[in-house]
Amino acid sequence: MRKCPNCTAEVAEGANFCATCGTSLRPLAIGRMMEDARRALDENPNDLSARYNLALAYKLGGMDDLALQEFQRVADRQADFADVHYELAQLLLKADRRGEAAAALQRVLELEPEHEGAKRLWERTSGK
């Protein structure tokens, strides 16, 4: 069991909110995700799975610039990983970098033509 950072009540592992005071526990989970990924990268800087997880944690934590950098590092080393291009496309659109986002979405759809998220995002952003 862990403790709520607000009221110190014990909370169940995996809980999203404290049952006692209602505090969101999401920041703690994101922090742990970052710590785990950084620890794995300290052990092996070439661990693309850990780098991807770090990028996801940055994205979930609202650190879009850091997430973009880490997702791009993964994409540079594993160009055939459709989901990393999808994550890049989402963040690039959010940053209003539409041309780069379109290129990332095209890459996803080249790799996985039936990628539902990419198809929906393509339709939404291309006006089709």
Parse the chain into domains and list their residue ranges.
79-128
| Per-residue pLDDT tens listing for the chain (128 residues) | 788 888 888 988 878 788 888 888 778 788 889 999 999 999 999 999 999 999 999 998 899 999 999 999 999 999 999 999 999 999 999 999 999 999 999 999 999 999 999 999 998 887 65
Cα angle 37, 32, 4 (rounded to 5 degrees) comes to: 180
**53 CB-near residues (< 8 Å, 6+ apart):** 33, 36, 37, 40
Q: How many residues does the chain have?
A: 128
pLDDT given for residue 125 in this prediction: 84
The span from the CA of 43 to the CA of 48, in Å, is 12
Verdict on whether the full-model pTM lies above 0.85: no
pLDDT given for residue 44 in this prediction: 97
**58 CB-near residues (< 8 Å, 6+ apart):** 34, 64, 66, 67, 70
Look-up of token digits 């979405």: 105
Element (H, E) at 2: strand 2-3
